[in-house]
């Protein structure tokens, strides 16, 4: 007889969290996994890197902050949190407006894929590393992301869909990034993840009538995990001042622009979802950019000028181009091909328009560590 299955919320290691999800995989649906498999500029990707280079990082220059952060992660404040409790209200999936249901499921699948993408990368670093500091950090971060992905999969399963994470690990394409690009991209995605979740959480705290699904009640502790992950990457970048100076400032600007623009375009593709939340997508985007910019001053010497007169028009242009590419892809044929080319050219021009807005420079504080303040 099989022992009763533990829940991913109680898993203390990434291996345990993944084994539990693998045991549930028989229930997982093909269409959700197919959505998670998609690789476009806008969908979450899986990453791989030079693990030996990452493993060689010496955290001595940030030792005091590092030890404090790791102690927090070791204490595991969110163990057991990511599970359905009495607070999990019944979700009327069948009664949900079809457009909202479609967009919300798409949101959950893409969030689950993003969580799992972090999980896979962090787990691989933990598995390959020999550096005790690095291995310990990545074991905690992969543990957290396995729980997050598992919890979203719980929510999806109620709607009759779930992502087959075991299959994704093997079948999804991996994109190679040098460690420094992993730092910029992952630091930003952790911090923007925090800003997104806390903004939604605070909004729904004030307007509970818009909370159309219980998962939003879990966002506060959730975003604290992401905040800590971001802190870890900030400290990793602090170990080498070259990572945030010289030509690398251009890379930072590129990643800031790409991460912000991607979020903007994706969110504007989910109007029914934001309407249901009672959130103006444009306000939400700018608010998340503001919080992320403020936080990223802890380590980046520049922030994007999100109040610049060219900022919003180019984001809107990018969004229109993305719609055009999407429509052309659906149309297919030679017309579709030409439409895709034209859309891509427009998107590239809009992105260049964003990238050429002068950045705001400032001094980076000597003390890096921040606490979640929103």
- Residues contributing to the site for Fe ion (CB under 5 A): 115, 118, 145, 148, 190, 226, 229
Residue 363 is encoded by which pair of tokens? 């001094």
Q: Report H helices in the chain.
A: 14-23, 30-37, 51-55, 63-75, 98-128, 132-158, 165-171, 179-206, 219-238, 248-268, 271-277, 281-296, 311-331, 333-355
DSSP states of 242-304: GGGSTTHHHHHHHHHHHHHHHHHHHHHT-HHHHHHHT--HHHHHHHHHHHHHHHHTTT-SEE-
Question: Helix, strand, or coil here: 176?
Answer: strand
In whole angstroms, the minimum distance from the beta carbon of 225 to Fe ion comes to 6
Closer residue to Fe ion, CB minimum distance, 123 or 317 = 123
Asked if 305 and 311 count as a contact pair (C-beta separation under 8 A), the reply is yes
List CB contacts of 308: < 8 A, sequence separation 6 or more. Answer: 357, 358
- Of the candidates 114, 58, 306, the one whose C-alpha atom is nearest the C-alpha of residue 229 is 114
**Pick 219 or 300: Cβ nearer Fe ion:** 219
Tokens representing 334 are: 């030679």
**In the complex, minimum distance from the CB of residue 12 to Fe ion, in angstroms, rounded to a whole number:** 16
In angstroms, the CA 238 to CA 298 distance is: 10
Nearer to Fe ion, 48 or 282 (CB): 48
Q: Write out the two tokens for 321.
A: 């181009």
Rounded to a whole number of angstroms, the minimum distance from the CB of residue 84 to Fe ion is 18
**Which of 17/179 has CB closer to Fe ion?**
17
* Least spacing, CB of residue 147 vs Fe ion, in Å: 8
**Distance, CA of 135 to CA of 128 (rounded, Å):** 8
- Closest distance to Fe ion from the beta carbon of 223 (Å): 9
Distance CA 341, CA 329 (A): 10
- Between 115 and 124, name the residue whose CB sits nearer to Fe ion: 115
- Of 295 and 328, which CB lies nearer to Fe ion in the complex structure? 295
- Whichever of 190 and 287 has its CB closer to Fe ion, that residue is 190
Structure-token pair, residue 164: 């087959």
Phi-psi category of residue 160: left, alpha or beta, with phi > 0 → left and psi -120 to 50 → alpha: left
Minimum CB separation from Fe ion for residue 306, in Å? 23
Q: How far is the CB of 189 from Fe ion (least distance, A)?
A: 8
Least distance to Fe ion, CB of residue 135, Å: 17
3-state secondary structure of 97: coil
- Minimum distance, C-beta of residue 137 to Fe ion, in the bound complex (Å): 12
If the CB atoms of residues 65 and 190 are measured against Fe ion, the closer one turns out to be: 190
CB-wise, 35 or 137, nearer to Fe ion?
137
């Amino acid at each position: 007889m099989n022992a009763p299955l533990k829940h991913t919320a109680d898993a203390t290691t990434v291996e345990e969290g993944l084994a539990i999800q693998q045991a549930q995989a028989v229930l997982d649906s093909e269409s959700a996994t197919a959505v998670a498999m998609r690789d476009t500029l806008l969908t979450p990707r899986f990453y791989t890197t030079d693990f030996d280079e990452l493993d060689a990082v010496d955290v001595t220059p940030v030792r005091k902050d590092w030890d404090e952060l790791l102690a927090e992660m070791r204490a595991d404040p969110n163990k057991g949190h990511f599970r359905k409790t009495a607070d999990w209200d019944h979700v009327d999936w069948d009664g949900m407006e079809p457009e909202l249901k479609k967009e919300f499921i798409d949101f959950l699948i893409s969030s689950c894929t993003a969580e799992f993408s972090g999980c896979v990368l962090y787990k691989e670093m933990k598995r390959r590393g020999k550096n005790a500091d690095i291995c310990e950090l990545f074991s905690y971060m992969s543990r957290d992301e396995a729980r997050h992905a598992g919890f979203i999969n719980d929510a999806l399963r109620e709607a009759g869909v779930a992502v087959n994470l075991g299959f994704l690990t093997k079948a999804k394409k991996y994109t190679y990034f040098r460690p420094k690009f992993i730092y910029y991209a992952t630091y930003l995605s952790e911090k923007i993840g925090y800003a997104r979740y806390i903004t939604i959480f605070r909004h729904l705290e004030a307007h509970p009538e818009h909370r159309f699904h219980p998962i939003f009640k879990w966002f506060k502790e959730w975003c604290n995990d992401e905040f800590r992950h971001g802190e870890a990457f900030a400290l990793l970048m602090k170990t080498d001042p070259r990572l945030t100076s010289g030509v690398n400032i251009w890379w930072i600007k590129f990643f800031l622009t790409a991460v912000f623009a991607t979020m903007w375009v994706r969110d504007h593709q989910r109007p029914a979802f934001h309407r249901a939340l009672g959130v103006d997508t444009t306000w939400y985007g700018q608010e998340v950019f503001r919080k992320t910019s403020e936080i990223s001053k802890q380590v980046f010497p520049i922030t994007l000028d999100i109040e610049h007169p060219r900022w919003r028009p180019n984001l809107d242009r990018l969004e229109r181009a993305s719609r055009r590419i999407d429509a052309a892809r659906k149309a297919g044929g030679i017309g579709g091909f030409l439409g895709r080319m034209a859309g891509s050219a427009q998107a590239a021009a809009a992105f260049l328009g964003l990238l050429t807005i002068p950045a705001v420079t400032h001094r980076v504080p000597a003390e890096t560590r921040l606490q979640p303040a929103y």
